[in-house]
């Protein structure tokens, strides 16, 4: 009888030990699953952002010659994801993600085109009335050379406008304390408290922001269409105003702020 009790006690201890080990293994497994699940969700956020950058870049290529779509007077404008889908620029879209605020507009994903502040470069020139070939000096001279000091070439110089593809992803409120860490993992340009701005100095907010030029929307972008881009550039330069035309146009016929599109 004593032997039976002793064996029964040992069996109970073994059972408790097995249960404790099983609970520990289960806890570690759940923690590991949570890590893998979070990493997978972050990679999906990154892929979705890349998809939107590429789709918006293709939308730009398809519409940038139309000033009605990209108006000069507009500093920025939104484009809906459904519009990108309807136009065929975005396919296989899967926005649902536990880290993204699915209750927000567009299920937490926003696409904008933002016009960067244009920079104006003044070009100066001088006139040579000496009649001496090769005398290209712009230094002031006394009569009868009548050379002029450098003067602005035109009164209303051209303005080159750059459009930036701007993608914002709203992270769920339950994850807002991890937004800065997520931004580093997915390669976002910055975090923000608003979907329509990117402040690289901000370290808080619930939005992850990506900004790219349409010509370089994604480092993973690959397409045979890029082989035709040099020909497309040449066509645009031949059938739109090139730099030589702009410089030779006299100020009286100059339109003022010339709008450059698609490299034309």
pLDDT, mean of residues 235-261: 50
Residues 6 or more apart whose Cβ sits within 8 Å of residue 130: 141, 145, 146, 147
Q: Look up the domain containing 32 and give its range.
A: 8-121+157-253
Does 85 map to a domain?
yes
Return the pLDDT at 252.
43
| Closest alpha carbon to 78 in 109, 118, 54, 123 | 109
b/e map 96-119, b = 16+ CB within 10 Å: ebebbbeebebbbbbbbbbbeeee
Return the pLDDT at 259.
42
Q: Please give the model's pTM, rounded to 2 decimal places.
A: 0.65
* φ, ψ dihedrals at 125, nearest 5°: -145, 165
pLDDT, mean of residues 146-158: 51
Does 112 map to a domain?
yes
Does 108 map to a domain?
yes
Residue 246 binned pLDDT confidence (cut-offs 50, 70, 90): low
Does 90 map to a domain?
yes
Residue 128 binned pLDDT confidence (cut-offs 50, 70, 90): low
Give me the number of domains the chain comprises.
1
């Amino acid at each position: 009888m004593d032997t039976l009790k002793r064996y029964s006690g040992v069996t109970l201890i073994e059972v408790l030990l097995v249960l404790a080990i099983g609970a520990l293994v289960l806890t570690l497994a759940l923690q590991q699953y949570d890590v893998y699940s979070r990493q997978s969700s972050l990679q999906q956020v990154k892929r979705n952002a890349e998809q939107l950058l590429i789709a918006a870049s293709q939308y730009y290529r398809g519409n940038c010659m139309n000033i009605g779509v990209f108006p000069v007077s507009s500093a920025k404008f939104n484009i809906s994801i459904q519009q990108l889908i309807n136009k065929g620029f975005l396919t296989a879209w899967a926005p649902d993600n536990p880290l993204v605020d699915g209750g927000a507009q567009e299920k937490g994903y926003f696409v904008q085109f933002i016009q960067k502040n244009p920079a104006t470069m003044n070009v100066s020139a001088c006139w040579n009335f000496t009649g001496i070939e090769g005398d290209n000096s712009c230094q002031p001279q006394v009569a009868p050379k009548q050379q002029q000091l450098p003067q602005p070439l035109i009164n209303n110089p051209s303005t080159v406008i750059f459009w930036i593809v701007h993608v914002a992803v709203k992270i769920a409120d339950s994850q807002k304390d991890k937004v800065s860490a997520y931004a580093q993992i997915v390669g976002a340009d910055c975090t923000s408290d608003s979907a329509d701005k990117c402040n690289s100095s901000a370290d808080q907010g619930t939005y992850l922001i990506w900004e790219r030029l349409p010509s370089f929307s994604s480092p993973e972008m690959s397409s045979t269409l890029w082989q035709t881009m040099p020909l497309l550039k040449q066509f645009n330069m031949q059938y739109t105003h090139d730099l030589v035309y702009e410089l030779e146009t006299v100020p009286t016929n100059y339109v003022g702020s010339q709008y450059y599109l698609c490299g034309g």
